[in-house]
Amino acid sequence: MKLNSSIYAVLNNLLNVLPESGRADTVRGWLAGMALKGCGKKLKISSNVKIFNPQKVTAGDSVYIGYSCYFGGGEIVLEDEVTIGPFVTVAAGNHTMRDGSYRFGPYEFGRIHIGRGTWLCANTVITSDVTIGKGCVVAAGSVVIKDVPDYSVVCGVPAKLIKTVTPEVAEALRAKNKGFA
């Protein structure tokens, strides 16, 4: 059964009264899965998450969306095992100017694609027409305005490449107990 976006929005707001817990996150994920364009298994969504145009959002398996995130605009794809921290904005669209003002200009819908196993840390902003590769880390407070290659760690406003951490490098660092990944 598919939910239309209005019914989903009402039910989602009602579910926000549930306490923060893994079970409540699972229930919110199950509900969102009925409204999304596509949804894998084990979607978990924290409270106060707003998904506008859920029919344009696809989530893979084992995706987690943290507290008070915003998703809006055009097509948004979250591959498997994407982790999204609290207060993240994923905005797949832009306002345009008309008669010298952005207030009534037409809205342009874009696309955002976030690769498998990527972590968007707290308070990040992902702008329209961006692809973030697999296994990336977007540091807290960063604003991503251009594509990010696989296994990148990016940071800043705008986000810039800090380093590349392949799974092999991450495993070696973990083995040496240096604390990264």
CATH number of domain containing 155: 2.160.10.10
Contacts of 169 (CB under 8 A, 6+ apart): none
> When comparing pLDDT for 167 and 100, which is higher?
100
Question: How many residues are listed for the chain in this entry?
Answer: 181
The domain in which residue 103 lies consists of 48-175
Does residue 35 lie within any of the structural domains? Answer: no
Does the residue 167 lie in any domain? yes
pLDDT, position 181 = 52
Q: How sure is the predictor about 18, in pLDDT bands with cuts at 50, 70 and 90?
A: confident
Tens of pLDDT, residue by residue over 104-158, are 999 999 999 999 999 999 999 999 999 999 999 999 999 999 999 999 999 999 9
For 121, the enclosing helix (H) or strand (E) is: none
Total number of domains constituting the chain: 1
Q: Is residue 32 part of a domain?
A: no
- % of residues, the chain, pLDDT over 90: 78
Question: In the structure encoding, which two tokens stand for residue 128, read together?
Answer: 């329209």
pTM given for the model: 0.89
Query: 73 pairs with which residues across the strands?
Result: 92
Task: Round the average pLDDT of the chain to a whole number and report it.
Answer: 92
Reading the block at residue 112, the tokens are: 């955002």
pLDDT at 170: 78
In a domain, 26, yes or no: no
Model confidence pLDDT, tens digit, residues 64-80 = 999 999 999 999 999 99
What is the secondary structure of 9-25 as a DSSP string? HHHHHHHTTSPSSHHHH
Q: Does residue 38 sit within a domain?
A: no
Give the pLDDT confidence score for residue 16 in this predicted structure: 77
Give per-residue pLDDT as tens, 41-50: 999 999 999 9
Domain-located, residue 27 = no
As to burial, measured by CB atoms within 10 angstroms (0-12 exposed, 13-18 middle, 19+ buried), residue 83 is middle
Phi/psi for 85 (5° steps) reads: -75, 180
**131 lies in some domain:** yes
SS3 of 104, please? coil
**pLDDT for residue 179:** 55
Confidence bin at 30 (pLDDT 50/70/90): very high
Spatial distance between the Cα atoms of 29 and 18, rounded to a whole number of angstroms: 13
In a domain? residue 82: yes
Q: Specify the higher pLDDT residue, 136 or 14.
A: 136
